[in-house]
Amino acid sequence: MEKMLIEGGHTLNGKVRISGAKNSAVALLPAAILADSDVTIEGLPEISDVNTLGDLLEEIGGKVKQDGQTVHIDPSQMVSMPLPNGKVKKLRASYYFMGAMLGKFNQAVIGLPGGCNLGPRPIDQHIKGFEALGAEVTNEQGAIYIRAKELVGTRIYLDVVSVGATINIMLAAVKAKGKTIIENAAKEPEIIDVATLLTNMGAKIKGVGTDVIRIEGVESLHGCRHTIIPDRIEAGTYAIAAAAAGNEVIIDNVIPQHLESVLAKLREMGVEMQAADEQLLITPKNPLKSVDIKTLVYPGFPTDLQQPFTTLLTKAENTGVVTDTIYSGRLKHIDELRRMNAIIKVEGGSAIVSGPVQLEGARVTANELRAGASLVIAGLMANGITEITGLDHIDRGYEKITEKLLNLGANVWREEMTDHEIEQFQNS
Ligand code: EPU
């Protein structure tokens, strides 16, 4: 087990290339189940979530060949194998095996998904969608059993705007009989990416990117080649890191429109930037002004960048209020940031960040993915050395983060933890 060490105070400069979108990748891979012939996906991020999903595709009989960032999946020998335990528990996105296997085999048995602990993360809207399409869904000893004689298109209104439920229902509906209409659908770019793959496979989908998606079921889907979109959350993380500790940072392979809410907030703080076709140039000017942020569904401010942004606010003048309306429990980074000298009060579910303060290096733990990113940024800003444990979480979502930061001029490295440190970490 490794820990990350960051010596703060080194200014970031230069160019960082953004990887393919994690939250697309984790849906595109299961979507390949629906095809009858080879699917090739290019530009996948090299992160542990992608490896885990590749292993799961092999468990059900897929032939998966990974060639760097390109993955070839031959789904022709896949079978409707139950996946009640094991790797499905490792990540949240294993729930996409439900929709994809239901769509392909009219049945699925999938263990309740794992993933970051952000407070309650129900999947009632996914289940509501499967049931509306004609499936019977039961929860037996921690696994979801889904069976249908046949899937028949219908109108489904989502009570909560959900990325996962929107994608999962699309996966189940593309081969259903007749027309499915998903109302109050989520509009995230990752949903458009999945719909693009499905359309290339022969699916008939309209309205993606709006809140009404219309799907006309087809008999069969074929293989195709697809290139994934860049990761807007990784790009946003580096933009925030650049604002926090950079001089001139170019973020390459980004779609700036996907980050409009975040860039608007950075501008409001006084961060200067220029957006080009696939690049962003971030040139922060001090002092920064505090802003309030409230996370919302896309195109609002993304919950996945709330924690990195909270770290940035410690450097800004006055008080900024951070409210996460998507995951009210996503505050696990606060105690760790306080260890580093941050002044943050939690009141009524909002974090009130007072600044500016000089963060100090400390031993901290990443207890989920984006909390981890917020601590990495804090380490870049802090005096002295910050030691971060819990890297498994960070490696689930950020490709080669140590190398990318080193290239930008940060002083960051990894070390094996001693047995004593591992014991302390496991008991924390
Ligand atoms: N919700 C329900 N019922 C459901 C589904 C969702 O009440 O059936 C609620 C959730 O509890 C939450 C809200 O609806 O309060 C939105 O959840 P959503 O379903 O949109 O989230 P998700 O699909 O589980 C994806 C990303 C998350 C990201 C959210 C919001 C993946 C694998 N995960 O989760 O990514 O935070 O959308 O944008 O795509 C991350 O990358 O760090 C991460 C957690």
Please tell me whether residues 190 and 333 are part of one structural domain: no
Among the three residues 196, 227, 258, which one is the final residue of a domain in this structure?
A: 227
How distant, in Å, are the alpha carbons of 192, 303, 306, 367 from that of 209? 6, 19, 23, 32
Q: What per-residue confidence (pLDDT) applies to 427?
A: 82
* pLDDT, mean over the chain: 95
| Same-domain pairing of 358 and 369 | yes
Domain boundary among 200, 227, 254: 227
Per-residue confidence (pLDDT) for residue 322, from 0 to 100: 97
Residues contacting 58, CB < 8 A, separation 6+: 64
Residue 141, pLDDT score: 86
Percent of the chain with pLDDT over 70: 98
Q: What is the pLDDT of residue 13?
A: 98
Say whether both 70 and 27 belong to one domain.
Answer: yes
pLDDT for 184-213, tens place per residue?
A: 999 999 999 999 999 999 999 999 999 999
Burial class (CB in 10 A: 0-12, 13-18, 19+), 97: buried
- According to the model, what pLDDT value does residue 115 have? 63
Sheet holding 318-324, edge to edge: 293-295, 318-324, 350-355, 343-347
Quickly state the pLDDT bin for 296 (edges 50, 70, 90).
very high
Contacts with 88 (C-beta within 8 Å, 6 or more apart), sequence order:
56, 94, 97, 110, 111, 113, 114
Alpha carbon nearest to ligand 1 atom 15, residue: 326
Name residue, tokens 């981890």: 372
* Same domain, residue pair 239 and 379: yes
Q: Which of 26, 110, 116, 266 is catalytic?
A: 116
- The protein residue whose alpha carbon is closest to atom 32 in ligand 1 is 93
Q: What is the mean pLDDT of residues 331-346?
A: 96
The residue among 244, 181, 227, 276 whose CA lies nearest residue 21 is: 227
Mean pLDDT of 56-62: 96
Q: What is the pLDDT of residue 224?
A: 98
**326 and 249 in a common domain:** yes
Model confidence at 359, pLDDT cuts 50, 70, 90, reads very high
Are residues 42 and 116 both part of a single domain? Answer: yes
**C-alpha closest to that of 292 among 336, 324, 338, 334:** 324
Domain count, the chain: 2
pLDDT exceeds cutoff 70 at 116: no
The CA 303 to ligand 1 mean position distance, Å, reads 9
Residue 349 has pLDDT above 90, yes or no: no
217-263: per-residue pLDDT in tens?
999 999 999 999 999 999 999 999 999 999 999 999 999 999 999 99
End-to-end C-alpha distance for the chain, whole angstroms: 15
Distance 399 CA to ligand 1 centre (A): 21
Statement to judge: residues 202 and 214 lie in one domain: yes
224 included as an active-site residue: no
Co-location of 391 and 263 in the same domain:
yes
pLDDT for residue 279: 97
pLDDT tens digits, 158-192? 999 999 999 999 999 999 999 999 999 999 999 99
Bridge partners (DSSP) of residue 15 are: 250
Whole-angstrom distance, CA of residue 37 vs CA of residue 35: 6
Other Cβ atoms closer than 10 A to 4: 24
302 Cα nearest atom in ligand 1: 38
Given 227, 243, 265, the domain boundary residue is 227
**Distance, C-alpha 198 to centroid of its chain:** 20
What is the 3-state secondary structure of 136-191? EEEEECCEEEEECCCCECCEEECCCCCHHHHHHHHHHHCCCECEEEEECCCCCHHH
Tell me, yes or no, whether 209 and 245 share the same domain: no
pLDDT of residue 91 exceeding 90: no
Q: Supply the pLDDT for residue 303.
A: 97
Letter string b/e over residues 183-212, b meaning 16 or more CB atoms within 10 A of that residue's CB = ebbbbbbbbebbbbbbbbbbbebeebeeee
pLDDT, residue 425, reads 85
pLDDT score recorded for residue 154? 98
Confidence of residue 113 (pLDDT cuts 50, 70, 90): confident
Q: How far is the CA of 92 from the centre of ligand 1 (A)?
A: 9
CA distance 125 to 297: 16
Based on the fold, state whether residues 411 and 330 are members of the same structural domain. Answer: yes
User: Tokens in use for 39?
Assistant: 């699917």
Residue % of the chain over a pLDDT of 90:
89
The pLDDT-based confidence of 70 (bands split at 50, 70, 90) is very high
Same domain, yes or no, for 236 and 222?
A: no
The pLDDT value given to residue 117: 67
Whether 115 and 93 have beta carbons less than 8 Å apart is answered as yes
Residue range 132-143: average pLDDT?
A: 93
Give the DSSP letter of residue 300. S
pLDDT at 135 over 90: yes
**Sheet with 279-284: strands ordered across:** 12-17, 246-252, 279-284, 271-275
Dist. CA 65 → ligand 1 center (Å): 29
Q: What is the CATH number of the domain that holds 394?
A: 3.65.10.10
Q: Can you give the pLDDT at residue 142?
A: 84
What residues flank ligand 1, with Cβ below 6 Å?
23, 26, 92-93, 116, 121-126, 160, 162-165, 186, 233, 303-304, 326-327, 369-370, 397
Residues 30 and 158 in one domain: yes
Peptide linkage before 82 cis (omega within 30 of 0): no
Full residue range of the structural domain in which residue 178 is found: 22-227
Whether a cis peptide bond, with omega within 30° of 0, leads into 287 is yes
